[in-house]
Each structure stands twice: as C-alpha cells, then as structure tokens.
Amino acid sequence: MQLIIVESPTKAKTIQKFLGSKYKIKSSFGHVRDLPKRELGVDVDKNFEPKYVIPAKAKKVIADLKKDAKNATEVILATDQDREGESISWHLMEALKLKDPKRIVFHEITKTAIEHALNTPGKIDMNLVNAQQARRILDRIVGYKLSPFLWKKISKGLSAGRVQSVAVKLVVEKEREIQKFTAIEYWSIEAIFEKFGAPFSAFLNKKNDETIDKLEIKNQLEADEILKNLKNATYKIEKITKKETRKNPLPPFTTSTLQQSSANKFGYSAKMTMMIAQKLYEQGYITYHRTDSLNLSQTSLESAQNFITTQFGQNYLMQRKFKAGKNAQEAHEAIRPTSAQKSPEILKTELEGPQLKLYNLIWQRFIASQMAPAIFDATAIEISANNYGFGSNGQMLKFDGFLKVYPMKFSENDLPSLQEKEILNLTEVKSLQHFTEPPARYNEASLIKALEKHSIGRPSTYAPTLSTIQARNYIQKNDQKRFFPSEMGFLVNDILVENFPQIVDIDFTAKMEKELDEIAQGSDTWQKTIKDFYAPFAKNLKEKYTSVEKENTDIKTDKICSKCQKPMIEKLGRFGRFYACTGFPDCKHTESIVKIGSKPAQSLDLKCPKCKTGNVTAKKTKRGKIFYGCDTYPACNFAVWDKPINELCPTCKSILIQNIKGQVKCSSKDCDYKKTSIEIGDNL
C-alpha cells in the first residue's frame, strides 16, 4: 500500500475518493514543525541555524504517520504547490525520517490532475523550502527582537512584524492625509434642454475655446458672472461624434483580486474569503487559491469555449490569454473552476451560502474572461453659447457580451435625436456648488490592492497580515468597514518610523520580497539574505534601547479608585485606554473606558441587581465590544450585553434590558417577558 500525505483532512477525503483502496491518504493537519513559541529559536551566532520543534498538537499526528509510513511500500508527499506547502513536505520528511520520498503537486484536485501527478513525481524543491525558511526566520527575528523594545518603550503585550508594520504604516499615512485635508470649494454650470418632451443636460467645459479646469470656478460670484454672460444666449450644436466603444472583461482571479472582489461584493474579510476558497479547493471545485498568476491551461480554455458556444453562441466567444505582473509565479494558474461545465446552477444542491456565492464569483469571472467585449454606442455633443462651450455624452448598450455572465456597473444615457447646427430649446441653466472630498480610507479590498501594488508580501500573506493588525488593535474598522489607526497604532508606527525606518520602509520590504524570490529560484542563499539584514538591524536596536526615552501616555483624571480611594489615571494598553489606580502595585484595580462619541460613558445611575452595592457601568471587551457590568468586578461578576434600565420585570423581578433597536426584555434567561409596543409607548 502506498501512503500519500496531505495537509488537510478534507483534501485527504477528496483524493481518497478518486484513488480508491490502493492508496492510503492521511493528513498532517497543517504544519508539523515550527520554531519554539517561547524563545527566539534561531542561533544568530551559528549562521542563523533554526531550532525546530514538534508542537504539542502535532505529536500524536506524527506518531500515527510514523506507523503508517513504516507499513507503507512508498510514501508520497502531496502538500500544496507553493513555498509553504513545499516547506511542510520537507518538515514531514525530517520529522518522519523519510529517505528520498516522492513529491507530487497538482493545481486542482481532480482525478485527471492527481493521476498525472502520480505518473510524474518529483523531489522536494529545497530552493522553495529555503525561501520559506528565510521568510519565517526573518519574521521571527523582527518579531522577537523588536517586540520587547516596544514593551519597554511603550506598553507590555505589543508586537512588531516585518510585513504587518508596513501595512499599519499605510493606514496611518492615509489617516494623516485625511487629517491634513482641506476641502476646496468649486462650482459647475449645468444647462438643461428639452426635445420631444425628453430632457437632457450638458455641462460647461470651455471658455473662448479653452478647456475649463474642474476647480476653475471657485465661488458663487464667479458662477453668477458666467450665468449673467449666458443670459439670452443661443445654444447651438456645433458637433456630434458617434462611435462604438468596447468594454473588455477582467482577467480571471488571482488571490489578491479574489479577496478584493469578495470584500467589495459580499463584505467578506480576506481571512473569510481564503477559508471559503480553501474548502472549495479541497473539495475539488476550484484550482489552487494562492496564486499571483493569470495563466490558464489549454484544457480549461477549451472547456470554457465549449460552454460559451453551446450556451450563448459563437458571437459571444473570444479566447484570451492574460499576462501577469513581473513577480508572478507563471508556473501556477489563475483561480478558476475545475470544470467550466459545473455552473453555479448545477452546484446549487452541493454548495450553499458563502461557498456557493464565492464559487459563483470565481466561475463567472473565468467564463467572462473568455467572452466577447460588451459594445456600447457612444455619442458626444459639443454645444456653443456665446463664447462658452458645453458638452453632453450619451451611451447605450448595443451588445452585452461578457456582461451576460459577469454583471458590472455601467450607466446608460439615451440622448434624443439631434442634428449639427440645431438650435436647442433651453429650459434652465444653473450653477451647482461642490467641495473636494478627502481621500478615502482603506477598506479590505483597497488595502490588499495597495500591498500588492507595493510588492509587500505575497498571495498567502495578505489575509493573515490584515487579521493580525486588527487582532492587535493597531487598526480598527468604522461603520463603513473602513480602516483607521487606533491611538496605539499611531504610537507604534511613529516610534518604528523614527527609529527603525528600514523595517517599515515600503521599498525595503519590496526588495526583501525580491530577495526571497531569488532564493526560491536558487540564485541566492537564505543565510546571506538574513545576515545582510541582521547585522545593521541588531546594531541599531542596541543603540535605540539606550537613546529612546519611554513614552509617557498617562493622563490624569478626577476619578477615584473604588477600592483604595486613590486617584486613577488613564493608561494606554494594547486594547486601548483604561482607568488604572495610581496605588499600583499595592492596588491593581482597573476599569474599562467606554467612549460615546469623544466622551467617556458615565455610570447608568443604576444599582447592580446582583450585589445591590455596586453601580452598573458600560464596559468593553478586549476586542472593543461594549457590554454592561458591575463596577465592583471581580467581587461581583454581573454582566449583560444589552443596556439595563432602571425597571424590574413584572414576571420574575429581574432587571429589564434594552437592545440597540429599543426593544425591552427581561435579563433572565429563564424568563421570556418582553415589553409590547403599547407598554413602551405608555412609558415615553
């Protein structure tokens, strides 16, 4: 019996279904070796030799795999085909003490792809392993060396990272752009005409045959002067230009573009998108989902061609090949369905919810990429009025092309039938006030796009990077799901920018990614790359421990500690500001600060229903979620998510609570009392 080892139990189950009893498919459940958790694990004095350990959760897995390997005629490693997958295969070989195991890779989990891989096995690519090893060791050195510096100079529990700190820097810089922004007033002039009862409009764009800049009309006085000059003017069509315009489909998805589209269309985080895509890949529905390539196999192109011509006709077909960016790994494919014939409609019984939505997006994008462009009839009209010129544009869809499969937003503006030299019937000419808008904050999609643009990280790193900087509370999301830096995010970024500019330098981070690529290609060594980085970094770090003063972020308050009656101060911690007693360490009492707008929330003026002595106040979890609890905690652990009100339940005498929709109910889980709308109205 031959043993095939993969990372995921779902992947193992899918492959077993294709191969039958001749093979035994087992899962490693991800990584089986890593650097130790509570120490650096890298000997910087011995050519950066890493110390790998088997985590506790992987010990039983390794023990079981050793037994299976001993009883197998052959061991085949079939982890994913990227650097991380190659690294897992190498760690499996080392942990299981395998001698020259076979290594197979496949871009999709289909019977054909797996059988082809088994017929063309290879060996572990140590260049890819070393590239991944270099990334892991670099990140460990930066994290383990810089984080204690932040603890000493700012606050305990902070962390820095080679890629995450650059991502935070992008968000901080964007926020400072917004803070510095000053809105500029400008005006536009609109003329509204009518023909055959149909209104259409045109906007002022020229004066004395010179183009008027968007911001040229600066105030109402200037706008009124133009309206005055246009009084009694004759509006004549000087020129009509008609042409066909074409809109081409987008290429199939890469990891970053899938994450961006998923965020824009469904509001999914990058982490959620990758979790769903992982399942779709492991179940054999899509090709490998960590890729920056736009390549498509000839088989997939032929499959798409057959589907399009059968379903829509030959005039909807236009085969294309796309060119990816200069750093893309062209051996991979773009993300696509494993079969064009498996339309989302057909898979409705197999997939549901987020999986079906994401599969539908991937399938539509792939099919659309091989379809004809959408064709529009476009009309441009130039209108003269005294020494001014107006312009009006019309557009109507003529042929839907790829839009039949992949809907995209476009506007249609149907102009009436008009002739050159025609005098138009003006119904109104008016001025409109505008103000320039500040730059938009990043959301998940635009931040990933920026990371990719600057070559920060690789497809596999975007999702964990965004998750990490949010989990560490360096950036937060507002109600519009846009990122903004926390106070701690500003502080950590500023101290890194000032004292470790290389770490957060965008060009340096991109250069490091290029060096990792060179290691993967065998043109550089991982030890040299790390040595070149470490020597100046370590020297600078040693100097900064002495020269940088500790940040004082404490703020005095009028609040008195309920435990020892000493004054309390506001301190800044990993999860934001909190109240702390000045009697520390004798008194370790702390309280949450929950702000409503810019002001701290006050006590609800409500005695705790449990202990009858403390007061109920608004609090927040470490992740920032607001709840209500007793201010004597931990002596009293009363806590509820919804806001308590100063009224008891008529049924069980427990306190009543009110949710964000204004609905009032009993706080007791054993009581189902709810106030009716009539009762609530009576109390208003």
How far apart are the C-alpha atoms of 244 and 277, rounded to whole Å?
A: 38
Quickly list DSSP for 308-323.
HHHHT-GGGB------
CB 375 within 8 A of CB 341: no
| C-alpha pair distances (Å), 336 with each of 58, 272, 288 | 33, 18, 8
Cβ(40)–Cβ(57) below 8 Å: no
Which sign, positive or negative, has the C-alpha torsion 351, 352, 354, 356?
A: positive
Give the active site residue among 288, 316, 406, 474: 288
How far is residue 93 CA from its own chain's centroid? 34
Cα(193)–Cα(491) distance, integer angstroms: 56
Residue reference for tokens 């009993």: 666
DSSP string, 234-277: --EEEEEEEEEEEEPPPPPB-HHHHHHHHHHHH---HHHHHHHH
Is 268 one of the catalytic residues? no
665 CB-near residues (< 8 Å, 6+ apart)? 642, 656, 657, 659, 673, 674, 675
Answer yes or no: are the C-beta atoms of 26 and 1 closer than 8 Å. Answer: no
Q: Of 376, 351, 377, nearest to 363 (Cα)?
A: 351
Amino acid 174 reads K
Q: What is the CA radius of gyration of the chain?
A: 32
Residue 654 corresponds to which tokens in the numbers above? 């427990």
CA distances from 87 to 7, 99, 130, 162, 620 (A): 11, 16, 8, 20, 41
Three-state SS at 490:
helix
Can you tell me the distance from the alpha carbon of 528 to that of 283, in angstroms, rounded to the nearest whole number? 40
Catalytic amino acids? 288
